[in-house]
Amino acid sequence: MSARAKNALFMQKLDWKIDTKALFSLFSHQPWATLLDSANAPHQDATFDIIGFNPIATLTSHDGICSFNAKHPKIAALNININQQASPFETLAQLHARLYPCAQGSLHPFSVGALGALGYDLGRDIENLPIIAVKDIHLNDMNIGFYDFALIYDYAEESWYAYHYDGCGALDYELNLIQSKIEHNLKQTSSLPAFQLTTPWINHISVEQYQHKFARVQEYLLSGDCYQINLTQRFEAQYQGNEWQAYCALSTANQGPFSAFIRLEHHCILSISPERFIKLSDQQIETKPIKGTLPRHQDPLLDQQAAAALLASEKDRAENVMIVDLLRNDISKVAAPGSVKVPTLFAIESFPAVHHLVSTISATLAEDKNAFDLLQAAFPGGSITGAPKIRAMEIIEELEPSRRNVYCGSIGYISQNGNMDTSITIRTLVTENNRIYCWAGGGIVADSNADAEYQESFDKVSKILPLLASLNQ
């Protein structure tokens, strides 16, 4: 049995009164510092914030080639070698089992384990897809850190908790270091200048190009290739300064219950996602696809009317059902027979910028399957591909000029005991070489209108692009 199996998972409830962003700011400059942030959202899924930093090891994947980096001497001493013939998902599963070989009970869904991001292009490691779109952002397809120490903010109890996989002494050591930072460094400002765009946002495709691509989608739909295809456009700008500051502004304005900030060596990921991909807790599966969007209004009456119109929209309900059926099929690959259910169909969930139409699918995971099997069976999420999934992804590759990268992938955790919760990375930005990228799109069906779909993509980023453009100007 691995020595790691003997480790004792320790937990301590803390009396800290510090808010999540103030606490994470102490680590936000560190590579592999990760925040999974419910953003104080008034939403039923806003239940915990999770902070991880100084991982014991990392796993990255680039074009199907995985790299494992042991960052702690005890992990280096295990001499872990990875099988390059295995897929990134298989490698992730094998490493998780090696590093956390004995599931231990915990008060919270996540205690310690894997945190990180899975890019949309990991789908190429599952399906054989054409290579057409340009790969002009060089963020790895998989960026996963393994964390033996984590901080959890419990919204229900309004309390911080700390977990460590290496016993009480290791937990006390980490907490003493943080307490010292809180007491002495909290008032220190970042060495980085304030975040500021240095160029206006530009569209990756013009209105005319979008309309042409929309027409091509319609041709595919009418020919029977697909029932629905998600078409995305990309925005980009140059910037300077502290990416964490930009995230704080975005998080406050958007209150996405599946928000996240991840700093890597050469990139930052800023996500304010409203959408859950897959949750697994005690073998129970839940996924909540979004399909159907209308903008919010300041006038309460107009806002109420917009929500009612979305709920009654035959087009949006039809789109939603298509994706519900797709996800039912994906989950059924690894679910116990007869357990896949749809407890909620067409619920309105409202966020600061938009109303969304959201459905919920549930199931019980088969006894011989685990979180990694579930993740691979459903990846990437059907709500951001189209139906049927593989053909939709082939058409997306043809029509979108550049790869989606982290957009439409997933961010989340897989705890040491096998629990998992992940987002769909919509409303998500990535930085590289002082350029910041943002995407928006939507599902197109046969009766979609080009102008309406084009406008919907701007509605979705109405509290992102203008906000960052005005920040510190």
Based on the number of CB atoms within 10 Å of its own CB, is 442 exposed (0-12), middle (13-18) or buried (19 or more)? buried
Indicate yes or no: pTM above 0.85. yes
The count of residues in the chain is 473
Question: In the structure encoding, which two tokens stand for residue 204, read together?
Answer: 């990756």
At residue 188, the pLDDT reads 57
Task: Single out the residue of 309, 411, 392 nearest to residue 354, CA to CA.
Answer: 309
Alpha-carbon span 306 to 301, nearest angstrom: 9
| Whole-angstrom distance, CA of residue 325 vs CA of residue 395 | 20
pLDDT of residue 8: 83
Distance of alpha carbon 128 from alpha carbon 139, whole angstroms: 21
Domains of the chain in sequence order:
3-470 (3.60.120.10)
Which residue among 174, 236, 243, 275 is the active-site one? 275
Predicted confidence at residue 1, as pLDDT, reads 34
401: cis peptide before it, omega within 30°?
no
pLDDT per residue rounded down to tens, the chain (473 residues)? 356 877 789 999 999 999 999 999 999 999 999 999 999 999 999 999 999 999 999 999 999 999 999 999 999 999 999 998 999 999 999 999 999 999 999 999 999 999 999 999 999 999 999 999 999 999 999 999 999 999 999 999 999 999 999 989 999 999 999 999 888 876 555 567 899 999 999 999 999 999 999 999 999 999 999 999 999 999 999 999 999 999 999 999 999 999 999 999 999 999 999 999 999 999 999 999 999 999 999 999 999 999 999 999 998 999 999 999 999 999 999 999 999 999 999 999 999 999 999 999 999 999 999 999 999 999 999 999 999 999 999 999 999 999 999 999 999 999 999 999 999 999 999 999 999 999 999 999 999 999 999 999 999 999 999 999 999 88
> Residue 370 to residues 90, 97, 115, 147, 185: CA-CA distances in angstroms?
11, 11, 17, 20, 42
- How many whole angstroms separate alpha carbon 14 and alpha carbon 258? 24
d(CA 210, CA 361) in angstroms, rounded, equals 32
Name which of 265, 271, 273 is nearest 432 in CA terms: 265
Question: Distances from the Cα of 38 to the Cαs of 60, 117, 264, 367, 425, in angstroms?
Answer: 25, 16, 21, 30, 14
Peptide bond into 352 cis (omega under 30): no
Alpha-carbon span 284 to 421, nearest angstrom: 11
Residue 283: name the closest of 362, 358, 344, 341 by CA.
Answer: 362
For residues 276 and 285, is the Cβ–Cβ distance under 8 A?
Answer: no
Residues 6+ apart with CB under 8 A from 254: 39, 272, 274, 351, 352, 353, 427, 463, 464
List Cβ neighbours of 61 (8 Å cut-off, separation of 6 or more): 67, 88, 91, 122, 125, 140, 141, 142
Check: CB of residue 235 under 8 Å from CB of residue 244.
Answer: no
From the candidates 213, 288, 291, 460, which is the catalytic residue? 291
Contact in structure between 101 and 394 (CB atoms under 8 Å): no
Burial 116-154 (b: 16+ CB within 10 A, else e): bbbbbbbbbbbeebeeebeeebebbbbbbbbbbbbbbbe
Query: Would residue 291 show up in a list of annotated catalytic residues for this protein?
Result: yes
Nearest to 243 by CA among 29, 42, 31, 91: 29
